[in-house]
Amino acid sequence: MPTTPRQVTAPVEARAIVVSNVEIAAHTYRLRLACPELATRFQPGQFLMLRLPGRTDPLLGRPYALYDTYADAQGNTVGFDIGYHVIGKQTGLLTELIPGQVVDLWGPLGNGFPQFTGKHLACVAGGIGYTPMIAMTLEALGVKTYGQSTTPASPERRVSMLYGARSKSHLAQLHELESLPNATITVATDDGSAGHKGFITEPLDTLLAKGEVDAVYCCGPELMMKRVAQIAASHNVPCWLSLETPMACGIGACFSCVVKVKEDSEDGWDYKRSCIEGPIFEAEKLLLS
């Protein structure tokens, strides 16, 4: 298996200071937060719960995946970025944040993607699902390390980033990956305004047919991930999915984020919490609707 399970650290509660908040695509933003105590713990695929202090509507926090970490002039990891797409009340309020304001956080949460140790990784993203793939790609190529994990650089290792969105205006610019010699970016849009016209699963099928990919990591809409899992299975390539399940607590107490996972039991399946046992699951073990 071209992957290694992660060793994750215990989550902490913290207050972070807003550094910047910029729109990077249509209704999609990148929020930079200064918070060393979380930044040094984060690993690709993990997430945090964020709450706006002093507000009771919305009352509960919301989950956001790690985009990437950043360092100060001395090279110390001091903060991180998250990406968000404006679709509801809290994400609408996030657009109003300005540098110097604070937010309440708890994390890092979840298991994260397995560390990739193979030769060729395919990262498949739909919409805001591209967010966790930035750090995952940088780690797999040995460009950066995160938390307690280390992935030795390998001159032979490659990452293919396949990114789909509704139109060109909804595509975020992947500046972090564009200059990397072993990273290849393939884009697809529903309307054909950029890259391949159609779904990103079509270029994925073509790529996997070459027999060179060792594993597929995927995050995006559930229907897209279900199709990615089917394509990966048809080419006998192991696949992991990052679920975007709605969550209320992020710590396993509310059971609002459960998903069906195959089990050796009388029913053949059981519920697992995305925030604790996930949000990353092996595709072949999930029972997607």
pLDDT tens-digit series, residues 195-252:
999 999 999 999 999 999 999 999 999 999 999 999 999 999 999 999 988 888 888 8
Alpha carbon distance 111, 280 (integer Å)? 7
pLDDT tens-digit series, residues 89-118:
899 999 999 999 999 999 999 999 999 999
- pLDDT above 70 covers what percent of the chain? 99
pLDDT tens-digit series, residues 180-190:
999 999 999 99
201-208 and 222-234 are packed helices; what angle lies between their axes, rounded to 10 degrees? 20
What pLDDT score does 92 carry? 94
pLDDT tens-digit series, residues 134-157:
999 999 999 999 987 777 767 789
Domains of the chain: 8-109 (2.40.30.10), 115-244 (3.40.50.80)
* pTM given for the model: 0.94
Reported as type and span, the H/E element at residue 49 is: strand 47-51
Q: How many CA atoms lie within 13 A of 179 on its CB side?
A: 3
> What's the one-letter identity of residue 55?
R
**Mean pLDDT score across all residues of the chain:** 93
Bridge partner residues of 221 (DSSP): none
